[in-house]
C-alpha cells in the first residue's frame, strides 16, 4: 500500500511520517535549513503481518504544487494533514482538489499539533475536515512531539494494508 501526505505548508506532514516510520524524509540541506519540504520524501514501514506500507511525503508550499502532484499520482491512501492551531488553509483545499481530480478515493484525516490547542479546538477542526473531505473517513488527532495518537493511526493503517 502506498500512502501520501497532503496539506498546507508547516502543518506537520514530514514530522508525521517521521513519527510513523522513524525516517526524516527531508534529505536536502536546504530542506533542513528552511524547515520546508522541497522534494518528495520516501519512507516505509513493515507491518506486523510482514506487509510493507510505503509513504510519500509531499511539499505543502504552493510553489511546489507540481512536485506534490507527482507524489500523489498513483497512491492508495491520502493522509490529509491539518494543524489544529491553523485549521484548513489554502493548500489544504488545493491538495484535496488535486486528490479528487486524480481519483484518490481513500482518505484519512490527521490533525497535528494537538498539544498547542484545547480539546474543543481539535473537535472543531475535525468537523471542518469531515466537511471539506465530503466523505466519511476517520480523523486521527496526533502530536508528533510526544507521539500521542500515533499508535492509533498506525493500527488503522495496518488494517488497511
Give the catalytic positions in this structure. Answer: 10, 13-14, 61
HSE-up (13 A, CA, CB side) for residue 157: 31
Q: Contact, 119 vs 147, CB < 8 A?
A: no
Task: Return the residue matching grid coordinates 508550499.
Answer: 61
Rounded Cα distance, 140 and 124, in Å: 13
Q: How far apart are CA 62 and CA 160, in angstroms?
A: 30
Beta-carbon count within 10 A of 103 CB: 7
Q: Is 131 helix (H, G, I), strand (E, B) or coil?
A: helix
Amino acid at each position: 500500500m502506498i500512502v501520501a501526505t497532503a496539506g498546507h505548508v508547516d502543518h506537520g506532514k514530514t514530522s508525521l511520517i517521521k513519527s510513523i516510520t522513524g525516517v526524516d524524509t527531508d534529505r536536502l540541506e536546504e530542506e533542513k535549513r528552511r524547515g520546508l519540504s522541497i522534494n518528495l520524501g520516501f519512507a516505509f514501514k513493515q507491518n506486523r503481518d510482514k506487509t510493507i506500507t510505503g509513504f510519500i511525503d509531499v511539499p505543502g508550499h504552493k510553489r511546489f504544487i507540481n512536485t506534490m502532484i507527482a507524489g500523489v499520482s498513483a497512491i492508495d491512501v491520502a493522509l490529509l494533514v491539518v494543524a489544529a492551531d491553523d485549521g484548513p488553509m489554502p493548500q489544504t483545499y488545493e491538495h484535496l482538489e488535486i486528490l479528487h481530480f486524480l481519483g484518490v478515493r481513500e482518505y484519512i484525516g490527521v490533525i497535528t499539533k494537538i498539544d498547542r490547542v484545547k480539546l474543543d479546538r481539535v473537535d472543531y477542526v475535525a468537523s471542518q475536515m469531515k466537511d471539506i473531505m465530503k466523505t466519511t473517513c476517520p480523523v486521527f488527532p496526533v502530536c508528533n512531539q510526544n507521539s500521542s495518537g500515533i499508535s492509533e493511526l498506525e493500527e488503522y493503517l495496518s488494517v488497511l494494508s
